[in-house]
Amino acid sequence: MNGGYLGQILWVDLASGRARTAPLDPQLAADYIGGRGLGTRLLYDRLAPGTAPLSPENPLVFATGPLNGTAAALSGRYEVVTRSPLTGTVLGANSGGRFALDLKQTGYDAVVIEGAAAAPCYLWIHDEGVEIRDASHLWGLDTRQTTERLLAETHERAGVACIGPAGERGVLFASIINDRGRAAGRGGAGAVMGAKHLKAVVVHGHHQTPIADPQRFKAAREEARTALSEAPVTKNALREFGTAVLVHLINEYGGLPVHNFQRGYFPDADSISGQTLKETIYERSVACANCFVACGRATRTARRSGEGPEYESLWAFGPMCGVRDLEAITEANYTGNELGFDTISAGSTIACAMELWEREAFDSATRAQVEAELGTELAFGNARAMLRCSELIGRREGIGVWLAEGSARLAARFGHPELAMSVKGMELPAYDPRAFRAMALALATSNRGGCHLRAYMIAPEAMSTPTSVDRFATSGKATLVKLYQDLSAVVDSMGMCIFTTFALNPAHYAALLAATTGIERSAEQVLEAGERIWLLERLFNAREGFTRRDDTLPQRLLQESLPGGHSKAQPVEELAAMLDAYYQARGWDRQGHPQADTLARLGLAE
């Protein structure tokens, strides 16, 4: 290997208690970059079709990128790759903080964990070796308690990625928490970890990431940093108010989902805005490794302190549930971090339950059970009910057993599958597709389900970054979505933050990659690598039975208009035509199957 990689993959079998190292195939590194791309290829090659996500045979891959461990700005992200227990799709869950750097410094580009231990354990990777240690004394602890104990047991400066009770008890959207408040959150990677009886991965080492051409890297790094420091979003908005700066913007567009996507405008948005957060509960800004933007927020309520909430969490526990109480929303967010579950799926599932309550879908016995466990009605706007539901989800107790399965299973259980606001089983994020057509297509085609980070079309459609496009137009959106999807795959695979796309273009990423790895690639070739990663994810889903019928949106968004608000947007009736154009742009047939020449061009003909 030249630069960017340490050239080793660690394979751990929890069932046998054995660990081995193997060299990283240079061709895989060239084709899939690292992080999300490398992790997906390792999963695809290792996992037999039809393997249940919570079975011991489902691998869990922790993967770094070639930019991790360098001085490149915003290069502190890593990827957890597995098959999702929530959706059944391929899952890449991305997280920041310092864990990516700590993991890379152990000397491995990826750690592949297979099998299941007979009893609770944790993995301790350090310069002297690899240990599988007993974690019986940690089982049942929350993520904060677990982290503190593991730092005392291993090394005070170690990186800790762990699960809480949600992961242990099989919440299908359980997350993996690192650095106390950063989450590989979506899709249930924490549940896969829990099924393996793996409480934590703890890492500490002193390996340095090699750089192929230091002088060239310095120039590419400075050019990228200058662009990031001059772009309005990364220079001002995110630094000043964090991701919660989006609350007013998306609300003014009429695209902030309220009451389980029944409306798109929240009259009380000011009560949960980034400005209000900063004036009331903000303590300090928090940054990932090598990040000068520092969009994270350390906060404090009357009862406790923690990190967040981010925009998506503010929305999920707030407007989605009709709640305007910022302290209650923040408390629910803390609960998600400590018990270890995805706040987007949790808030959305609670909102689904609230609409089921509103529509009287529960029989009298179930209503009585709900009221007894919550101590109140499960009604929109009821902050007390929302908070209690979040606690029951995290511990998978009482009605939390139903809620822990996600909104799709919950809505189907009570006879109203149409009330689940999800794609491929994953709950949608805080943007109503009826207000943003490119976002609608991106959400419908996302390989891991309803995810905004697979192609953040809000940038051009709402933030005019890097340019403004008509949010209701459909012409040209297919190629634009493809571009963003391919670029996002590259960024995730490099180990960089998706927020760099607010300022950088493919040429910036190509320059950083070439200087770091020594592998010369044009901007077009870098995007082709992203296309290859996207296609491999598509092929994974196809062999698990996903087809064109799964590239869709909830019935409500396809058939109902948005009432009131500033948008009054119409349903996404054009989705079928947009899908046709999208498949054509990708070189797939009308059913969404990649054509032979596309597979051959991207080296996936086999």
Domain ranges of the chain: 8-204, 240-426, 436-502+522-601
Residue 427 β-bridge partners: 422
Residue 83 β-bridge partners: 90
φ, ψ for residue 532 (rounded to 5)?
A: -65, -45
State the first-to-last Cα distance of the chain, in angstroms, to the nearest integer: 26
419-447: average pLDDT: 97
Tokens of 274: 């980034």
Residue 2: band (very low, low, confident or very high) from pLDDT cuts 50, 70, 90: confident
561, amino acid identity: S
Q: Do 8-204 and 240-426 share a fold?
A: no
Residue 353 β-bridge partners: none
For tokens 């050239």, name the residue: 7
Residue 29, pLDDT score: 96
User: Which phi-psi region, left, alpha or beta, contains residue 24 (left: φ > 0; alpha: ψ -120 to 50)?
Assistant: beta
How do residues 475-496 score in pLDDT, each as one tens digit? Answer: 999 999 999 999 999 999 999 9
CA count, 13 A, side-chain hemisphere, 246: 24
Residue 258 β-bridge partners: 263
Q: d(Cα 17, Cα 19) in Å, to the nearest integer?
A: 7
For tokens 């207000």, name the residue: 435
How do residues 178-190 score in pLDDT, each as one tens digit? Answer: 999 999 999 999 9
Q: Are 241 and 278 in contact (CB under 8 A)?
A: yes
**Closest CA relative to residue 46, chosen from 37, 56, 57:** 57
Residue 364 scores a pLDDT above 80: yes
Tokens of 412: 């189907």
How far is Cα of residue 69 from the mean position of the Cα atoms in its chain?
22
How do residues 7-46 score in pLDDT, each as one tens digit? Answer: 999 999 999 999 999 999 999 999 999 999 999 999 999 9
Residue 296, pLDDT score: 95
Tokens of 345: 């799926």
Residue 565 scores a pLDDT above 70: no
576-598: average pLDDT: 97
Residue 549 scores a pLDDT above 70: yes
Residue 210, pLDDT score: 97
Q: d(Cα 321, Cα 299) in Å, to the nearest integer?
A: 22
DSSP 453-512: TTS-THHHHHS--SS---TT--TTHHHHHHHHHHHHHHHHHHT--GGGGGT--HHHHHHH
DSSP 334-356: HHHHHHTB-HHHHHHHHHHHHHH
Residue 458, pLDDT score: 97
* Alpha helical stretches, state H, 253-339: 274-280, 311-317, 326-339
Residue 576: band (very low, low, confident or very high) from pLDDT cuts 50, 70, 90: very high
How do residues 111-137 score in pLDDT, each as one tens digit? Answer: 999 999 999 999 999 999 999 999 999
How do residues 257-306 score in pLDDT, each as one tens digit? Answer: 999 999 999 999 999 999 999 999 999 999 999 999 999 999 999 999 99
Tokens of 588: 């797939």
How far is Cα of residue 143 from the mean position of the Cα atoms in its chain?
18
Q: d(Cα 409, Cα 18) in Å, to the nearest integer?
A: 37
538-546: average pLDDT: 98
In CATH, the architecture of 240-426 is: Orthogonal Bundle (1.10)
Tell me how crowded residue 57 is: count the other CB atoms within 10 A of its CB.
14
For tokens 């200058």, name the residue: 226
Q: d(Cα 38, Cα 32) in Å, to the nearest integer?
A: 5
Burial annotation 147-156 (CB, 10 A radius, 16+ → b, else e): bebbbeebbe
φ, ψ for residue 9 (rounded to 5)?
A: -115, 135
Residue 88: band (very low, low, confident or very high) from pLDDT cuts 50, 70, 90: very high
How do residues 284-295 score in pLDDT, each as one tens digit? Answer: 999 999 999 999
Residue 569 scores a pLDDT above 90: no
Q: d(Cα 446, Cα 423) in Å, to the nearest integer?
A: 8
Residue 148, pLDDT score: 98
For tokens 């406790």, name the residue: 304
Q: d(Cα 367, Cα 376) in Å, to the nearest integer?
A: 10
For tokens 């590194």, name the residue: 29
Instruction: Give whole-number Cα distances, 148 to 258, 276, 278, 356, 376, in Å.
Output: 38, 31, 28, 40, 35
Residue 567 scores a pLDDT above 80: no
How do residues 296-332 score in pLDDT, each as one tens digit? Answer: 999 999 999 999 999 999 999 999 999 999 999 999 9
Q: d(Cα 542, Cα 582) in Å, to the nearest integer?
A: 17
Fold of 436-502+522-601: 1.10.599
Instruction: Give whole-number Cα distances, 240 to 285, 293, 459, in Å.
Output: 9, 9, 18
422-432: average pLDDT: 98
User: What's the chain's average pLDDT?
Assistant: 97
Domain 8-204 has CATH 3.60.9.10: yes
Give the pTM.
0.97
Residue 497 scores a pLDDT above 90: yes
